[in-house]
């Protein structure tokens, strides 16, 4: 245990650092609260309180609650898109699908709050994300479906419906973040551990590969 005192005599910080520290802290707290309570259930005062700042200071950095929420969302989406587009047609589906599932479940484990905000957005009709879903995400979705069709034409997998396979992959991996509370209740645990995530990934990989007639090595 360190007994080093902080913030008793405020250290002189550069403006750049002050700005970065505070907005990072606000974004971090906001992500957790938006995830736990939803947009309407989260108040600026609550964010300010947990971030250790006066409410007016939060509004100094993010002029409106809306703007803050949009910033949180866009941060999330950029992380999201990255892990989406790494299934390519020159890979074998055996490897591509496995690593996709593993990566997605790891993301659910490591960024549960982000994942849940995303889910809540869509659950409520995607009022803020609709445009980006219609452009960026849809583009990636269709590209990935093309990859599936390519694999099917090469007879690397059964002729399954590509779109619905994507939906299944998305929802069943996403669930390890969104429904973590329910899962841990069912398993009589306070929270899921690494083994649970691994077992989930194993089951999904098995189901998808075998289910699509992809011969596992």
Q: Which residues bind its own copies (CB under 8 A)?
A: 36-41, 116, 119-120, 122-126, 130, 133-134, 137-138, 141-142, 158, 160-161, 163-168, 170-172, 174-176, 178-179, 181-183, 185-188, 199-200, 202-204, 206-213
Q: How far is the CB of 187 from its own copies (least distance, A)?
A: 6
Contacts of 83 (CB under 8 A, 6+ apart): 100, 103, 104, 107
Q: Could you tell which of its own copies, DNA, none binds residue 59, using a CB distance below 5 to 8 A set by kind? A: DNA
- Taking CB under 7 A as the binding criterion, the range among 11-19, 119-127, 158-166, 182-190 that sits at the site for DNA is 11-19
Nearest residue to 73 via CA among 14, 139, 120: 120
The answer to whether 54 contacts DNA (rule: CB under 7 A) is yes
**Could you say which residues in the range 59-88 bind DNA, by CB under 7 A?**
59-61, 63-66
Q: Could you tell which of its own copies, DNA, none binds residue 18, using a CB distance below 5 to 8 A set by kind? A: DNA
Neighbours of 52 (CB within 10 A): 11
Of the pair 23, 132, the CB lying nearest DNA is at: 23
On whether the CB atoms of residues 84 and 36 are closer than 8 A, the answer is no
Q: Could you tell which of its own copies, DNA, none binds residue 56, using a CB distance below 5 to 8 A set by kind? A: DNA
Of the pair 48, 208, the CB lying nearest its own copies is at: 208
- How many Å apart are CA 137 and CA 134, to the nearest integer? 7
Range 29-34 contact pairs with CB under 8 angstroms and sequence separation of 24 or more:
30/68, 30/69, 30/72, 31/72, 31/75, 31/76, 31/113, 31/114, 31/117, 32/113, 34/69, 34/72, 34/113, 34/117
Binding site for DNA (CB under 7 A): 10, 12-16, 18-19, 22, 42-46, 53-57, 59-61, 63-66
């Amino acid at each position: 245990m360190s007994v080093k005192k902080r913030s008793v005599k405020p250290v002189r910080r550069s403006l750049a650092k002050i700005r970065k520290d505070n907005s990072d802290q606000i974004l971090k707290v906001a992500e957790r609260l938006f995830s736990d309570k939803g947009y309407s259930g989260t108040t600026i005062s609550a964010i300010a309180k947990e971030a250790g700042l006066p409410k007016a200071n939060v509004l100094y950095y993010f002029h409106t609650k809306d703007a803050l929420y949009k910033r949180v969302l866009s941060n999330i989406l950029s992380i999201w898109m990255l892990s989406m587009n790494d299934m390519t047609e020159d890979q074998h589906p055996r490897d591509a699908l496995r690593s996709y599932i593993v990566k997605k479940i790891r993301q659910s484990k490591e960024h549960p709050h982000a994942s849940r905000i995303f889910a809540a957005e869509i659950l409520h009709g995607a009022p803020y994300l609709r445009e980006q879903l219609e452009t960026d995400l849809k583009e990636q979705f269709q590209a990935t479906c093309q990859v599936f069709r390519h694999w099917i034409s090469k007879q690397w997998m059964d002729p399954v419906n590509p779109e619905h396979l994507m939906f299944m992959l998305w929802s069943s991996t996403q669930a390890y973040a969104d429904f973590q509370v329910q899962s841990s209740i069912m398993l009589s645990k306070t929270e899921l551990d690494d083994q649970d995530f691994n077992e989930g990934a194993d089951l999904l990989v098995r189901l998808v590969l075998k289910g699509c007639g992809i011969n596992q090595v």
